[in-house]
Amino acid sequence: MSLSHAWLDDVRPSSYADQLALGFRWLRFSRPLENEYREALRDDTYDLKRIALSVGMLIWLAFAAFDFVLIQAPEVWWMLGIRLVVLLLLIILSGLLLQRRHIHLLQPLSLVAILALGVGASLVVGLAHRVDPGYPYEGLLLVCMASYFLVGLRLSEALVCSLLILLTYIAAELLMADMPVPRLINNSLFLLFGNLMGAVGCYLLEFKSREHFLISRLMRVLADQDSLTGLHNRRSFNRQFERLWRQAQRERRSLALLLCDIDHFKAYNDRYGHQAGDSVLQRVGSLLLDAARRPLDMAVRLGGEEFAVLLYDIDVAQARQHAEALRQTLQTQAIEHAGSDTAAMLTMSIGVACIRPEESGALAQLYEHADRALYEAKAFGRNQVVA
């Protein structure tokens, strides 16, 4: 591991941290992360691609006017015909891109657009060189640069597009213009080395894009995660609860909240030390994480020795059973606690509350009921569940 990534040991376990540590010189992530990256890239570049396509159509029209002025021969009508076909294709693609319901087609449509521009420009250059050998062909390099930098293609896609454009250009020159081989080699090398510089720049750009993706996702995880236990923190809990509450309203499901408090934890810290206390918090966090394994459940560290488990689509009786199982699981761990007035081992008190979406209130009400139940559990001897 490089020195700059030594800090990743402090944020594991995390797929983002693991991928950063492993590296991605070949511009590939593990399969789940690769799919996530491509979806993020598609969403981030949506507006950029629409703008790039609009600018491309305007430039394409400008070159059509340039052809009409520069080429005074019947071939100009063939050239304008090619430009018209490409323009119509770009208009269709633009119409599809304007509709967000086709956003899943963004990448293939971008490939089609850049290939249409490149192949069309190659054919136009081949036709023009039949009449005027001095007709500029350097515009092909601009199309290639657009595939590397403006359209948001990944390096592999940009390389394939540029190679196809170059091969089409060579074929057009040989079949349409019968260009002398030495000059064709010179032009091809110019385009080839231009593409090489574009590929290097595109590699660096995509590498940094992938690195930024991993770091930003990792920072998001850290912002929503308790650093000691790996559970959600209070900030994440408050935000996620609003989303789950709206979903519960739509689906008419109930939500249950388990508020958990480690009994006499201050006495445990005083007797065994803060390092042992941190170890206990991590073990309790692991138990709560196991209790919230369903996709919409959530385990949270609210602060200190206070934890919460939010359970989706569950009634009060089931929630109480979950809480009792959690309490007993901690007790069977038999973690010695000589400073406890409740038991000889570490125990937990749990307050349970359940609310249905058709009822009024939200997090504040649910939390208030669970907190009141927790207070009763602690007042009547601790190491018990009250619902």
Number of neighbouring beta carbons within 10 Å of residue 327: 21
In the chain, helix, strand, coil percent, each to 5? 70, 10, 20
Q: Which residues are identified as catalytic?
A: 305
Lookup: tokens for 75 = 């071939």
Phi, psi of 151 (to 5 degrees): -90, -10
What's the maximum distance between 2 C-alpha atoms anywhere in the chain? Answer: 102
- In 3-state terms, what secondary structure has residue 336? strand
Q: What is the reported pLDDT for 6?
A: 59
Q: What residues of the chain score a pLDDT lower than 70?
A: 1-13, 358-362
Q: What is the reported pLDDT for 3?
A: 43
**Alpha-carbon gap, residue 110 to 178, rounded angstroms:** 32
**Alpha-carbon gap, residue 212 to 218, rounded angstroms:** 10
Q: What is the reported pLDDT for 17?
A: 86
Phi, psi of 293 (to 5 degrees): -85, -20
The domains of the chain, with CATH numbers, are 3-222 (no CATH), 234-386 (3.30.70.270)
In 3D, which of 242, 268, 258 has the Cα closest to residue 387?
Answer: 258
- Count how many Cα atoms sit within 13 Å of the Cα of residue 54 in the half-sphere of its side chain: 9
**Alpha-carbon gap, residue 311 to 300, rounded angstroms:** 11
In 3D, which of 135, 112, 115, 111 has the Cα closest to residue 125?
Answer: 135
Contact (CB, 8 A) for 124 and 90: no
Q: What is the reported pLDDT for 1?
A: 41
Q: Cis check for the bond before 13: say yes or no (omega within 30 of 0).
A: yes
Virtual CA dihedral for 358, 360, 365, 370, nearest 10 degrees?
Answer: -30
In 3D, which of 31, 58, 43 has the Cα closest to residue 152?
Answer: 43
- In 3-state terms, what secondary structure has residue 293? coil
